[in-house]
Amino acid sequence: MAGERESEVKLIGAWPSPFVLRARVALNLKHIQYEFLEETIGTKSELLLKSNPVHKKIPVLIHAGKPICESLIIVQYIDEVWTSSGPSILSSDPYDRAIHRFWAAYVDDKWFPAMKGIAMAPTAEGKKAAVEETLSAAVLLEEAFVALGKGKPFFGGDHIGFVDIAFGSQLGWIKVTELTSGLKLIDPEKTPNLAQWADRFRQDPAVSGVIPDTQKLAEYAKSLFAKLKGAQPQN
């Protein structure tokens, strides 16, 4: 399966998206060749609308002509289809799988909205609350890393796993948020294990070639946030 033709596996996405990055890292971990179909930012291609008619969002994995949507579902699909190639992304133990899914959901439900609020909150009070929530989440994720990693390099143990992909996909945007806010969201003093993990994740061969350049992402973020703030209703 690892040698499957590139034409059989396609990924619709855009380079700045942390959710697209999840699929790219999972495919790289499994050594799967794929065609990356880059969406023009700000538009939705006919293929995207056809492949994801419900949400009309990236990423979409197309395997043998069949679309799979939602980033974490895509990662699980990749892990389940290409079992004989590369390391397992999720444990075979049902309890371990449930715990890792819990923390991946925590990243999406708690961490990401809080971090986004640092840049997008319309008031100083809202920004302060977002900062506090993000820093509290970082402490919890530090504790989760210790519990799940059990002294090994990644949340998944010896190799990048499900939570690594879920949270690691945010590292580019974490760096941009730190640059623009002057904050340290992953602090080597307060969350030393996360800080070391983040360096290992970025340097992993499955990640290093696809994670966005920080400066390029910062320039894109500046333009994006200006547009989004301009679209917010004024009181």
Q: Specify the pLDDT at position 228.
A: 64
Domain 9-82 has CATH 1.20.140.10: no
> For residues 166 and 146, what is the distance between their CA atoms, to the nearest angstrom?
17
pLDDT mean for each 10 residues of the chain (235 residues): 66 97 98 96 94 97 97 98 96 97 98 94 94 97 98 98 98 96 96 98 97 95 74 50
Nearest 5°: CA angle at 233, between 232 and 234? 115
**Distances 99 to 90, 102, 144, 160, 204 between C-alpha atoms, Å:** 10, 5, 10, 16, 24
* C-alpha dihedral, 40 to 45 to 48 to 49, nearest 10°: 140
- The structure's pTM equals 0.93
Handedness of CA 120, 194, 163, 82 (dihedral sign): positive
At 182, is the secondary structure helix, strand, or coil?
coil
Task: Map out the domains of the chain as residue ranges.
Answer: 9-82, 94-224
Architecture per CATH, domain 94-224, reads as: Up-down Bundle (1.20)
